[in-house]
Amino acid sequence: MNEQTTVYKADILIVDDKPANLRLLATMLSDRRYEVRTAISGQLCIRAALTIVPDLILLDINMPEMNGYQVCQHLRKNAQTHDVPIIFLSALSEPLDKVQAFHSGGNDYITKPFQLEEVCIRIENQLKITTLQKQLTAQKQELEFQNKRLEKEIKYRHEAENKLLQINQQLQILANSDSLTQLANRHAFDRFLQQEWRRMTRERLPIGIILCDVDHFKLYNDRFGHPAGDKCLQQVAKAIAEVVKRPADLVARYGGEEFAVILPNTHTQGVLAVAEMIRQQVENLQIQHPQSSVSNCVTLSLGVACIIPDQHSRPEQLIQISDRALYQAKQKGRNQSVIYN
């Protein structure tokens, strides 16, 4: 009798210095038909990745001797592993921790404790992006080859260029949008903030940020389940987007149940007014949340910050201020907008 050969969807390398975490992730992903390898240290991760290049790496940050940031930077410098998607898994949830993760070369960031469905969706999203990137490279090579041989066939060249454009558009959509809410993702948020920060610095105009957090969202998930939680986040995302309508503004999913709004050329009171409209819009949805200590329906806490940037300030400072304002809003009882004092 012939043994049945298992067809794996992808080769995933999991890196964590805690064996219990490795066993949990390995079991969950193996059940989803992923080929799983594990490493308990940064050095072993690098050795395993260079021996057989994985399709994707799940990388913990807090590890002895060599942390996740250092491992990621090392892999990005090596031609063999430069393009391998890396998703950080960490209990660190501060904005600056996430910023450092992306600056070190990470493709995505999942905060512990994580949900299996979220991990799987983010893995599939990164694998799709990688596939499209390979397709794009292959199409470019084919186009160059055909152009050398068939320079006079303008019609073919135009068709090939249109196909490349379609692939590139699909890639841009996947790379810049959040798969659950269809809002801009964290990558797009960081890029847009940097761009508008430079523009506001040149024009000496203010820029505002609103950080929004769904109040007691874990309790909502515990009561209604994660599919209902996903639907709730989609409704909240739509409500925020309905308030923020200027083409120059950006609404993004910042992570988990957090959303962020960037408002260029908007003074403090204007940013606060938008925050209050968002808060009211979400409350008006009347999504039942009997476990909340704030209200019987889903509400938001919002942190507001505004600054006129200059050559001596950085976008990360604005994020940090708005995060502190969000913390104050929670401390004061939630379901309110607070400017950091």
The 10s digit of each residue's pLDDT in 116-139 is 888 889 899 999 988 888 888 888
* Per-position b or e across 329-338, b if 16+ CB within 10 A of its CB: bbeeebbbbb
User: pLDDT at residue 299 above 70?
Assistant: yes
pLDDT at 173 over 80: no
Q: CATH for 186-339?
A: 3.30.70.270
Q: Which of 49-63, 146-160, 210-224, 229-243 has the lowest mean pLDDT?
A: 146-160
**CA-CA distance, 162 to 318, in Å (whole number)?**
41
**In the chain, which ranges are E strands?**
11-15, 35-39, 56-60, 86-90, 108-111, 207-214, 250-255, 258-264, 300-307, 337-339
> Residue 283 catalytic?
no
Structure tokens at 171: 């890639």
Q: Quick one: CA dihedral 164, 165, 170, 176, positive or negative?
A: positive
Give the residue from 164, 134, 133, 160 showing the smallest Cα distance to 147: 160
The average confidence (pLDDT) of the chain is 89
310 contacts: CB under 8 Å, gap ≥ 6 = 201
Sheet order of strands, 11-15 included: 35-39, 11-15, 56-60, 86-90, 108-111
Residue 75: pLDDT band with limits 50, 70, 90: very high
Domain ranges in the chain are 11-114, 126-176, 186-339
Do the domains spanning 11-114 and 186-339 agree at the CATH topology level?
Answer: no
Distance CA 72, CA 98 (A): 13
Residue from 35, 203, 257, 316 carrying the catalytic annotation: 257
Q: Give the CA radius of gyration of the chain.
A: 22
Q: Is the pLDDT of residue 102 over 90?
A: no
Q: Is the pLDDT of residue 169 over 70?
A: no
Record: fold of 11-114: Rossmann fold (3.40.50)
Conformation bin of residue 313: beta by default, left when phi > 0, alpha when psi is -120 to 50: beta
Give the integer Cα–Cα distance in Å for 266 and 84.
39
Of the two residues 23 and 161, the one the predictor is more confident about is 23
Q: Does the pLDDT of residue 72 top 50, yes or no?
A: yes
